[in-house]
Structure 1
Amino acid sequence: MSRRRPAHGPARTRTRAQRGLLYALLALVAIVPLFPLYWLVISAFKTPKEFVTIPPTWFPTSATLDPVTTALTAVPFAQSMLNSVIIAGGATIAVVITSTMAGYVFAKYHFRGKDLVFWGVVAMMFLPPIVTLVPLYYLVSSMGLADSYLGVLLPWLANPFGIFLMRQFMMDVPDELIDAARLDGAGELRVVWQFVVPLIKPAVVTLAVFMFVFAWNNFLWPLTILRSEAMYPIVLTLNRLMSYTMSFQYQNVVLAGALIASIPTIIVFLLSQRVFVQGIASSGVKG
């Protein structure tokens, strides 16, 4: 049996050139989406004079922490960050729980009208949020929940996309495993959280990351239902910070606040990156 000889000479050079071109292309593709983040970081440490310099500087010539300290003291930044953590964290936990339970029912239970109800839930994904804004406002206000954490969280306690995602992943969980757990005396809640959820961990993490980022960055609904600035999440406080600094033309302060506000979402992604990417890759091949 003849062995394949390694490539020599021009063939090896051509392979290295193609690989180098591929790496250069991938680096360029990575640089394009990372550039706004880079510009945000360097602008947050520029002086006001350097910030408006034309042509712009690519590195701060005299880096300063004044924009950061101004952003933290000009508005109630710490309280707003705490509000966002409570709102985004509460919405994430609620959506993961409700989506997991509903997805399990749609995937493993059989009852009349199941498909009709499921596709009705899926249809809600295509409903523009602005359509439900006014009815939700009147509903939450009539319940006396305006200007409260619960009022902000109420429309986010369940999510159609989360239910759809969990159902699709749970369809691949073997029915034999669930039947064996039931024969061992496990209740339905124990079956879901002890046997099913560990098998779909990438999907759970993916949903949690999506929901946390959405709730953290959501602007319209908190602006509609909240009245006191002490309840504002960080996105509303950044808008106030922009109004505060506009007359002073210190836009580097706004960018410093935006940089600090984006740190929690970056940390969440970095901590869950491996499982998150695995969940995205798995969902891409689902039928």
Structure 2
Amino acid sequence: MTSETITAAASGTWTLGDMTVNRMGFGAMRLTGSAAFHEGVPSDRDRSTAVLRRAIELGVDHIDTAAFYFSSLRSANELINAALAPYPDGLLIAVKVGPYRDQSGEWGTAARPEDLRGHVEENLRQLGRDHLDLVYLRRMRQESIAEHFGALAELRDAGLIRHLAISGVELRHLAEAQAIAPVVSVQNKYGLDFPDPGTDALLAACREQGIAFVPFFAIAGKGGSKGPGQAHDDEVRAIARVHGATPAQVRLAWTLRQGPQMLAIPGTGNPDHLAENVAAGALRLSDEEAARLDALRRRTD
């Protein structure tokens, strides 16, 4: 595939609340360094800035970030602010709240409902915004999310948040949140390496109800926040060769094929990988290829 001339528009669009975005977006976590959070080598600021600006040039209009995406020398939110403000019209910036890290990078205890306003305000400050387009409540093992989601609903009513979403949840949590306020998106771990009947049931509910589903680690697979490494299944490599694509592009194409409400947010600090990821939105798998990949996913169960 020729990556440089393909834009995010090739992936199609989906409407989040009242904002229509291309289905191929961008995840900001890897902007801060060579590995997640305080690990690895800090990113080059100019390179991260270039990646963000190139993403916009390639039609990316959905960026996923969080105040807790920072390394010893870099903050994803502040990189986004420096690179893109004043923000282009139509750009949706989604943030997650719930997890907390102190200035040394250590994870704190899960946020209490009364803490969430401070989390929202910190994202606002770092991004230089007067409201947040989309805020995910990232569940932190609590059985019920009602109290936390209710606190975010109050901030939406106050005008600090435009749309609400949930992350790291089970099907029952979607119903719990919807009893309080509309949910426009769900973000969970999902990909070829993650056969999970619970997540599949949640995805089916999102399909039925027209709710966006935003998978994370769609490329990274079992490597998670540490990245995918070089371990790609032979089946994925074989399909990639047929299309003149990379295994990562095949994984993204498979992900987008799971339904029109699937919104990919692959992250990278590498301009070449950015172009490849965006170009994956134009890769169309055949029914036979998709079936082979579906079978591969079942075999990893």
Asked whether the two chains share a fold, i.e. TM above 0.5, the reply is: no
TM range (shorter): under 0.3
**TM-score, normalised with respect to structure 1:** 0.23
* TM-score, reference length from structure 2: 0.22
By relative contact order (CA 8 Å, sep 6+), the higher-ranking structure is 1
Q: In terms of Rg, which structure is larger? A: 1
